[in-house]
Amino acid sequence: MIQVKKHNKNQKKLIYGMVGGGEGAFIGEVHRKAIAMDGKAELAAGCFSRDFENTKNTGETLGLDPRRLYPTYTDMFEKESQREDGLDFVVIVTPNNTHFPISEAAMEHGIHVVCDKPLTITSRESERLAEISDEKDLLFCVTYTYTGYPMVKQIKTMIANGELGEIRFINAEYPQEWLAKSIEKTGQKQSVWRTDPSQSGASNCVGDIGSHIENMVSYLTGLKITSLCARLDTFVEGRILDDNASILVEYDSGAKGLYWSSQVAIGHDNGLRVRIYGEKASIEWLQEDPNSFRISYLDRPTEIRSRGRDKMYPAAERVSRVPAGHPEGYFEAFANIYSIFITALDKKTNKNPLGKEDTDYPGIKEGYQGVRFIERCVESSQKGAAWVDF
């Protein structure tokens, strides 16, 4: 049974700024709404666009002090770091190629970071950000959204407790249809930068959604990839980067995996699905129906477990917000990641030790691993779908 969550009255509201997310953007507003859901942090400053007029218009719409709207992110970090009421953290929601310089600049000014995925466009850049984060003792979150769902945390605990037995095989997919036509040629903003290697990096499909598969499987199972074989396809004429990918995976435990991501799969909206097969049972979870999962056993009937109705482990219970039959979705999953991160940052600011549950959000290690996965997939495909070490 879900009970109303009580907020810690002693936890002060933190202050954050945002880079990107101006007029015409999608994901910035998602981040802002997710953060606002729990009231633990307040947006106070922004450089929402390279176009300062866009930044000023966005700031006015959001009711921000015009003096805390900045033409460049470097200007924002420099001036905010000098304020007594300056930023506790910054949210970065810009194209992939800018994640590294913005994150680096923020941390050089002592500001904690939340960055959209993928973390950077090269693993060397990710390693450098990890070094700075460690040197300056700063928290860093990478928003792999889907690990914030309560039932994902439930499945993770079940696997860790051995309820599926030894994992044998994983089948995970993430099909979408939105790039089935060359909409980037129409100027559609989200497609233009994702299909441009100068902004997106070496991969579009694997970088944008295939990396979610890697992160989800890693989070749920704890398995480490040892090698992979990838074929990246480009089906839409005139497109430079991949819009479909098939990936074979081998793990350190001896388990095997098969991943498929596609942005040209007509009939699919946002179909992230994970099937995990163990020696005693299997589990299937679908992002478009996130409040339940199916578990099948060798020796008894298949069950459908429901969030809010069926008993859950504490990790899942802590982030479940409403009673059974009241669906929780994308915004709540985002909000859960932010809630955990902000609480951890508040504890750290007050010099309180962080426990395991305090850091149950995707961090810079996961961000680096995602970038490495993208690089290895590209390398394998360029070598004719050869097996490469991870």
Terminal CA-to-CA distance of the chain, rounded, Å?
43
Peptide linkage before 118 cis (omega within 30 of 0): yes
CATH of domain 147-321+367-389: 3.30.360.10
Domain 14-145+359-363: give its CATH superfamily.
Answer: NAD(P)-binding Rossmann-like Domain (3.40.50.720)
Residue closest to 90 by CA, chosen among 39, 160, 22, 20: 20
> Would you write out the chain's pLDDT as a tens digit for each of its 390 residues?
444 455 555 668 999 999 999 998 899 999 999 999 999 999 999 999 999 999 999 999 999 999 999 999 999 999 999 999 999 999 999 999 999 999 999 999 999 999 999 999 999 999 999 999 999 999 999 999 999 999 999 999 999 999 999 999 999 999 999 999 999 999 999 999 999 999 999 999 999 999 999 999 999 999 999 999 999 999 999 999 999 999 999 999 999 999 999 999 999 999 999 999 999 999 999 999 999 999 999 989 999 999 989 999 999 999 999 998 999 999 999 999 999 999 999 999 999 999 999 999 999 999 999 999 999 999 999 999 999 999
Amino acid at 313: Y
The pLDDT, as a whole number, for residue 11 is: 67
Can you tell me which residue has the tokens 């693993």?
A: 123
Phi–psi pair at 144, nearest 5 degrees: -80, 90
Helix (H) or strand (E) holding 374: helix 364-382
**b/e code 11-26 from CB counts within 10 Å (16+ = b):** eeebbbbbbbbbeebe
Task: Calculate the CA 320 to chain-centre distance.
Answer: 19
Total Cβ atoms within 10 A of residue 301: 6
Phi–psi pair at 226, nearest 5 degrees: -105, -30
Q: Could you give the angle at the alpha carbon of 195 between the alpha carbons of 181 and 171, nearest 5°?
A: 80
CA distance 246 to 173: 9
Strands 244-251 and 14-20: unpaired
pTM of the full predicted structure? 0.95
Asked if residues 151 and 288 have their Cβ atoms less than 8 Å apart, the reply is no
> What SS3 state is found at 272?
coil
Strands 14-20 and 41-47: parallel
The pLDDT, as a whole number, for residue 1 is: 46
> What SS3 state is found at 385?
coil
Strands 244-251 and 256-262: antiparallel
Q: Per-domain residue ranges for the chain?
A: 14-145+359-363, 147-321+367-389
Positive/negative CA dihedral, 253, 255, 256, 259: negative
